[in-house]
A = this chain, B = another copy of it.
């Protein structure tokens, strides 16, 4: 049998180099399962891979897609603990193990998937591999915050930003959130954001007035936005950078480093997973799933596309000012 998949043969303008093809399903070997992909989002990492600038670049031609949710359809020999009809995500992608997930089906080692509770909707489950763990790890692995302490973040309206707001609330921290426009203030407040500040060139003062000095800052933008967040961070605090949406380098004042001893870290989820014991990573995902089942939380989706419309979908995902994620819906159901 054949299935449709999205791939690329060269690096370049993302919407131009992205292509689709039909491929034969391989027979299952021991330990393998076949997963019918239901939905998969387009993330900045996918765009970077198309452009050839990502951390992880499999040899070309390469199938695309960093995260997805699917339904287990077929089990090879010696598969344990995974059953037909389970909903699974594939969070352990890394340089050694890479399977592009923008496809109607994928064949995977069963040890590379995690079962997701069926109470979680499929479009939401499709976005569970990357952002929630990024947010959870950044909130817990760099500073031991006390309940009631503030976390400052830019790019607060992104998937990671929204997860930070949701998880910080669960952990008892307060969030001071930087956004680019008034349009997203109300929706972040509804989600539980304690404060929302609209970006301005000298906003560090405004952040300090709201959040005192926070001990943890999260930066997905770079450039002056990162600098303003850093200036509002307390002595001995940390700024963790997970993205560079603004594509500007970070400028760090020397006094901040030497006199205030603020530390600057980077965070990349696949890198972090590869260096962290698997049980710890699984435990964190399980905690996230439990929170979600108890208190559902929705990342907005702006539009879904068929796999066959990959160029249009990628072009849409690259537009700024979107109000939600772009998802592929594979239409098996």
Contact = CB atoms under 8 A, between A and B. Distances in A.
A213 to B, nearest CB: 16
Interface stretch (A110-118, A261-269, A323-331): A261-269
Contact of A257 (B257, B261, B266, B275): B266
A262 B265 CA distance: 7
A24 to B, nearest CB: 34
A242 interface: yes
A242 B259 CA distance: 9
Nearest to A266: B257
A249 B249 contact: no
Contacts of A266: 254, 256-263
Contact of A252 (B55, B252, B254): B252
A311 interface: no
A204 to B, nearest CB: 15
A43 B285 CA distance: 51
Contacts of A254: 222, 241, 243-244, 247, 249-250, 266
A271 interface: yes
A243 B257 CA distance: 9
Nearest to A270: B259
7 contacts: A241-B257, A242-B258, A247-B254, A250-B252, A250-B254, A259-B266, A263-B264
Interface of A: 53-55, 222, 236, 241-244, 247, 249-268, 271, 275
